[in-house]
Chain A
């Protein structure tokens, strides 16, 4: 009976799970002001991806707003003010995609179309993100995506410097190294 049960269970494809290697991954924003451009980077992120046997991919990444570093502590504090970090301490990106090649482990060079949403400043908005996948020699997967969001759409009061506001467009770049969780 036990053998029969084990055989039955083994017949169910289990899929694969990956976790983000935070130290090797980055989440970055890029905003533009008339006088200069600003990049803020976070390495304090956590994320997980599930690859189902049928090629469906579920992914989720989360980073504390306070972890973004632009190289200027005062500007980072200003960014936290604009994003009301005490009320909305995290930015969360999650999405679903489907690619049978991903499930088959032959995803290097593939672009996975991820349909998802970005939760920023307490506002969730849908977005479509093409994610470039690459399998590294050490077996880890690298996922890279870049997309633009509107600060106004997320109800973020755009910070100003010398009474000139930031541009509305904010580019977000996700560069993740994912390591498979072995059962």
Chain B
């Protein structure tokens, strides 16, 4: 059975508490308001009465030590690393005076679904390959177009000696190489995982995609039209189809260049 506390004892306790509140050690003990926020970070702001009572309790529990201006958390240290935080709860205890080991905000909200690190790494590797392949594609596409123009002029340009056929095979080889590079480049981009959710909007990548889908259509048309044109040897319409093939070649080259420039500029 507990003994009742005499009124005098309660009075003395209250007085002691009040004196502790005004004592210099209490004022120096800790970041006071900061500690209030340390302890209840994330909670609504305290009333001053409660804050000061908390200060008294903190002061009594942890007396002041050392110079307030001495930084114990930075200063001489170059850097510190820590474990993955997942919530930034580090240092959620009372801070030493002058220390950076405080946390005014409390534990951070757990971020939503975080992207998978392995998938992000795979994505980066694939998109790096995509860049390399894309630059090669631009070079191949340019070469194919130049050779196609030369082939057209050789065949239909009217310059002597006409129709030497010297550009036909190089143009065909470069065309297939360009098509292969295009398929490889596109495959890397399309199969790259996308672990980070991205809002749909008009930006550089959207321009890049539009340009590359245009180029894809051009590639398909060129493959069919090129084979068709080659098969019209001796027919009157061969030059017409060759002109269309040439024009689509320039459009396709422009689309690929636009796709690369959209990312680079």
Contacts and interface: CB of A to CB of B under 8 A. Distances in A.
Given A60-B102, A94-B104, A35 B265 contact: yes
Interface string B128-153: 10011001000000000000000000
Contacts of A94: 100, 102, 104
A48 B105 contact: yes
B205 A14 contact: no
B142 to A, nearest CB: 16
B37 A48 contact: yes
Contacts of A92: 88
B241 to A, nearest CB: 36
A131 interface: no
Given A5-B17, A77-B198, A96-B71, A88 B105 contact: no
Interface in B78-92: 78-86, 88
B219 to A, nearest CB: 22
A95 B75 CA distance: 12
Contacts of A181: 45
The A contact surface, by secondary structure, is: mixed
Nearest to A59: B104
A14 B33 CA distance: 7
Contacts of B31: 50, 52, 56, 58
Contact of A126 (B75, B105, B198): B75
Contacts of A115: 71, 74
A52 B33 contact: yes
A124 B33 contact: no
A73 B111 contact: no
B232 interface: no
Contacts of B242: none
Q: Interface size for chain A: under 10, 10 to 19, 20 to 34, or 35 or more residues?
A: 35 or more
A95 B117 CA distance: 31
Contacts of A96: 71, 98, 100
Contact of B203 (A17, A49, A72, A160): A72
B100 A116 contact: yes
Interface in B43-88: 45-49, 51-53, 55, 68-69, 71, 73-75, 77-86, 88
B196 interface: yes
Interface stretch (A78-86, A139-147, A169-177): A78-86
Given A9-B52, A66-B111, A72-B203, A125 B33 contact: no
A117 B104 contact: no
17 contacts: A5-B18, A12-B21, A48-B41, A75-B204, A78-B124, A80-B120, A84-B120, A86-B114, A90-B88, A92-B88, A123-B79, A123-B80, A124-B82, A126-B74, A126-B79, A160-B128, A183-B47
